[in-house]
Amino acid sequence: MGLARRVWTGYGGYALGFASLFVIWQMASLYLVGSVLFPPPTIVFKKALVLARNGVLLEHLSASLQRILAGFVAGSLLGIPIGLAMGSFRPVRKLLEPYTEFLRFIPSVAMITVAVIWFGIGEASKVFLIIYTTIFIVILNTAAGVSAIAPNKIRAAESLGATPAQIFFHVALPATVPYILTGMRLAMANSFTTIVAAELIAANDGLGKMLWDGRLFMLVDEIFVSLVTLGLLGFSADRMFRWSIYTFAGKYSPAT
Amino acid sequence: MPAKYDVELIGVTKRYGATLAVDNISLRIPQASYCCLLGPSGCGKTTILKMLAGFEAPTAGRILMDGREVTGASRDRGVVFQGDDSLYGWLTAVENVEFGLRMRHMHKAERRGRAMRYLELVGLRGQEQKYPAELSGGMKQRIQIARVLANEPKMLLMDEPFAALDAQTRSLMQIELASIWRATRTTVLFITHDIDEAVTLGKRIGVMRAGPRSQVKGVVEVSLNGARSRTDDAFLRYYKEVYEMIRDEVAKSLSRAD
């Protein structure tokens, strides 16, 4: 199979899918709705260009992105060891399960109120909320990964002479990597939901703030710029995550 | 007094709740011998292997190795598992083989050299950089065998290692394993439900009664030397002897399954 053909089967359908999305949007906006409340993509992109040139878009974008990144990294760094400990040691599991099982049913969106009361409307409250939304998914997936390890992998290591510590670092940890990565990917998606909600309610900048201002001043075009940016941002973050899994951790892929 | 036998099971019993899986088994596995434990499915063969490996403790009785009681897994007793889920999917073939050596901090060049020698012994030269997922079922079992041999245990415990392979690969692997054993003379306990496999490989064949409450019905000593052929008269004689011992047990285990 030629390269051109492979590129086409790999990305061709994708490109076509995206193109059709914008065509249908354009048609729907112009001929079906025909209202300023639902601007077509051409107008939205023109507005996006203006906002990109004067730096407003970048300012909001980087504000949101920095919060997500800080909270996501911190939440993962906290969640992975806790999940490993919960999966490996029964007493730790029993001790911490009430926390995870109770708190994970309180959505991060509901925590916005207390976050603002505790940490104000600055960065701290946003990062706290992203950590909150990340940590439980990462913990649960990591712990599930540890308990999904085939017992024969551990037994083989024991009869090859590995110590309990060696089994942890050389068998349990690498065997759990696919689960950890899956948990982080889900957490990333949740972080986007949370950051928008948090910025809608209390923030000085960010894509959520942009949405809220748009509603306040009836800047429908800006609302749509913010929405499209969010979609593209989430999409590319997820793709990058998937790409790095395949590139750097392909051998840990769940198939093997 | 030095132990006359490498491994000895004395009145070993294993209970899982109300089920009596293994009932008062005594068995001797002489040093440097190749023992097969043959029996119908559900007769407790794998339970015996798990206890010998040290993965599970007997409910009653003792398991001795060189006169010392077995209390847990150890690198004295290498295990080859039935399926491929004991291999490490994130390590290449050669990294899997040198796992045990790495765990005891053997120098990198030395352990790589030894791992490569054993990969060659099992016929996997040229496949060393592949991951288990890229290899066939037969090749994966060879990695397991090389991994255990490279660790140089006193005893090999093999739990139906070829059961999941197709007939051609299985008979090829049996021939190779027999020649590896003649070269290394490691004590082997090989578990199987296949009479042909037991007579092809075993020096001593322990025939088990149908489970539960499994026991050893009898031991057949096979005095065939060198490579064995399925068409030899002697081979067929042993086959018949073992077959007659096990026939009733298979019938029993089938009627119990109904």
Shared-domain flag, residues B163 and B234: yes
Residue B68 lies in a domain: yes
Q: For residue A251, is pLDDT > 80?
A: no
Most confident of B14-18, B60-64, B218-222: B60-64
Residue B126 lies in a domain: yes
Residue A35 sits at the chain B interface (C-beta within 8 Å): no
Residue range A176-182: mean pLDDT, rounded: 90
Of B54, B72, B90, the CB nearest to A251: B90
Residue B39 sits at the chain A interface (C-beta within 8 Å): no
Whole-number pLDDT of residue A256: 38
Helix (H) or strand (E) holding B172: helix B167-184
Q: Which residues of A touch B147 (CB under 8 A)?
A: 156, 160
Last residue of one domain, picked from the residues B110, B133, B152: B152
Q: Which residues of B touch A159 (CB under 8 A)?
A: 53-54, 73-75, 77-79, 153
Give the percent of chain B with pLDDT over 90.
Answer: 45
Mind listing the pLDDT tens digit for each residue in A72-111? 999 999 999 999 999 988 999 999 999 999 998 999 999 9
A36: amino acid identity, one letter: V
Shared-domain flag, residues B148 and B69: no
Q: For residue B42, is pLDDT > 80?
A: no
Shared-domain flag, residues B253 and B223: yes
Give the percent of chain B with pLDDT over 70.
Answer: 95
- Cβ pair B54:A158 closer than 8 A: yes
Shared-domain flag, residues B70 and B15: yes
Shared-domain flag, residues B64 and B160: yes
Residue B138 lies in a domain: yes
Residue B205 lies in a domain: yes
Q: Which residues of A touch B132 (CB under 8 A)?
A: 256
CATH number of the domain to which B31 belongs: 3.40.50.300
- Cβ pair B85:A152 closer than 8 A: yes
Shared-domain flag, residues B57 and B178: yes
Q: Where does the pLDDT of residue A250 fall: very low under 50, low under 70, confident under 90, or very high at 90 and above?
A: low
Supply the range of the domain harboring residue B117: 87-152
Residue B82 lies in a domain: no
Shared-domain flag, residues B69 and B185: yes
Residue range B113-137: mean pLDDT, rounded: 92
Q: Where does the pLDDT of residue B185 fall: very low under 50, low under 70, confident under 90, or very high at 90 and above?
A: confident
Residue B202 lies in a domain: yes
Give the percent of chain A with pLDDT over 90.
Answer: 68
Of B74, B104, B131, the CB nearest to A159: B74
| Mean pLDDT score of chain B | 88
Shared-domain flag, residues B128 and B141: yes
Q: For residue B1, is pLDDT > 50?
A: no
Mind listing the pLDDT tens digit for each residue in B215-245? 788 888 888 776 777 788 888 889 988 888 8
In chain B, how long is the greatest CA-to-CA distance?
Answer: 57
Residue B90 sits at the chain A interface (C-beta within 8 Å): yes
**Best residue in B70, B88, B98, B143 for a mutation probing chain A (most A CBs within 10 Å):** B88
Whole-number pLDDT of residue B2: 45
Of B77, B90, B104, the CB nearest to A159: B77
Shared-domain flag, residues B68 and B92: no
Residue B105 sits at the chain A interface (C-beta within 8 Å): no
Last residue of one domain, picked from the residues B110, B128, B152: B152
**Best residue in A160, A167, A173 for a mutation probing chain B (most B CBs within 10 Å):** A160
With contact defined as beta carbons under 8 Å apart, do B62 and B215 qualify? Answer: no
Residue B78 sits at the chain A interface (C-beta within 8 Å): yes
- Cβ pair B79:A155 closer than 8 A: yes
Lowest mean pLDDT among A130-134, A233-237, B53-57: A233-237
Whole-number pLDDT of residue B80: 95
Nearest CA in chain A to B87: A153
Chain A closest-CA separation from residue B23 CA (Å):
24
| Mean pLDDT score of chain A | 90
Last residue of one domain, picked from the residues B152, B174, B197: B152
Shared-domain flag, residues B64 and B119: no
Shared-domain flag, residues B61 and B92: no
Q: For residue A62, is pLDDT > 70?
A: yes
More confidently predicted of A245 and B92: B92
Shared-domain flag, residues B22 and B49: yes
Q: For residue A255, is pLDDT > 50?
A: no
Mind listing the pLDDT tens digit for each residue in A11-27? 888 888 889 999 999 99
Nearest CA in chain B to A171: B88
Give the percent of chain A with pLDDT over 70.
Answer: 96
Q: For residue A50, is pLDDT > 90?
A: yes
Residue B123 lies in a domain: yes
Q: How many domains does chain B have?
A: 2
